Structures are given as structure tokens and as C-alpha cells.
């Protein structure tokens, strides 16, 4: 029996406050709500997921390091670290699996400093501006990327 496909979903700073934090930008769903939706979608796709959130850059990097040997793909919403963290970018360079960057809001319709991502150059793909559904779209994208990888 093949090992289950394991997807790591990482969330950066302040995303623990979804549902109350700037609902005009991020909506009213909590990270727990998004996690439940991801669990359902992952199960339908035959995946196992772990959804984690940290306000600490170092903790996110430690979890990325785990992915080198433990995870089939990473979905990451680095939040504010998107625009500031060379360290997260460098950690993501170490993993040899699909990486999908997700943003709930459209970062290109916001302040100009948010238009630059240190993660995008090392990500397989980017989903932004589609709200919490972006996480589910990322799971679908990962499914396609992993199928394509198997065909090679």
C-alpha cells in the first residue's frame, strides 16, 4: 500500500485572527473554518493535511525544514512574511516538492509594499485574491502537480 499523500498547509502571522481581523479585506471565516474546508477537500482528494499557523518566522522555517523528508507538498500563506522574509524563501528552496503560495486578498490591489513577494520566485504557483477558497484551489492544484510528477 502506498504512503498517503501528505500536504503541509502553513499560515503566517496574524492569520490566527481571521474572522475578526479586517473583515472587509479577509472576510468573516476563521482559520479554523478554512481548516475544516481544507480537511474535507483533502479527504475527497485522498490527501492527509496538517494545517499550522505561527506568528514566529523561526517556527515556520522549522516546519518547512520538516517538509524536506515528510511532506508531499506545501501550501503556504506567509502573510506579512511574504514581503520581508528572505529566510523563508531560502528554507523553501531546500524542499523538493510542489509549493503553492496562497493569499486571501489580492496583494496587487493593496499597498505597493505588498506587491513584492520573496516566496513567489520559489513557489510552483501563486493563488491570490480569491478569498478563503484559494486554499481549496491550492489543494486542487497540488493534486494536479503531483499527478503530473507521477507521469514523468
Question: 2 CB contacts (<8 Å, ≥6 apart)?
Answer: none
Closest CA to 76 of 58, 53, 95: 53
Listing DSSP states for 132-143 in one string gives THHHHHHHHHHH
CA 11 to chain centre: 6
SS3 state of residue 91: helix
Q: Is 28 a catalytic residue?
A: no
Catalytic residue among 26, 83, 115, 135: 26
81, 103, 115, 135: the catalytic one is: 103
Place of cell 509594499: 113
In the annotation, is 135 catalytic? Answer: no
Catalytic machinery residues: 26, 103
Amino acid at each position: 500500500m502506498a504512503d498517503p499523500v501528505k500536504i503541509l498547509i502553513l499560515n503566517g502571522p496574524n492569520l490566527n485572527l481571521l474572522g475578526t481581523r479586517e473583515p472587509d479585506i479577509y472576510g468573516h471565516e476563521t482559520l479554523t473554518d478554512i481548516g475544516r474546508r481544507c480537511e474535507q477537500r483533502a479527504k475527497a482528494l485522498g490527501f492527509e493535511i496538517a494545517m499550522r499557523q505561527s506568528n514566529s518566522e523561526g517556527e515556520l522555517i522549522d516546519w518547512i525544514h520538516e517538509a524536506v523528508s515528510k511532506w508531499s507538498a506545501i501550501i503556504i500563506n506567509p502573510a506579512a512574511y511574504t514581503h520581508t522574509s528572505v529566510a523563508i524563501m531560502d528554507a523553501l528552496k531546500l524542499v523538493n516538492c510542489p509549493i503553492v503560495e496562497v493569499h486571501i486578498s489580492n496583494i496587487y490591489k493593496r499597498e505597493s509594499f505588498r506587491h513584492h513577494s520573496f516566496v513567489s520566485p520559489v513557489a510552483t504557483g501563486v493563488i491570490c485574491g480569491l478569498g478563503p477558497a484559494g486554499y481549496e484551489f491550492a489543494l486542487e492544484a497540488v493534486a494536479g502537480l503531483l499527478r503530473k510528477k507521477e507521469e514523468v
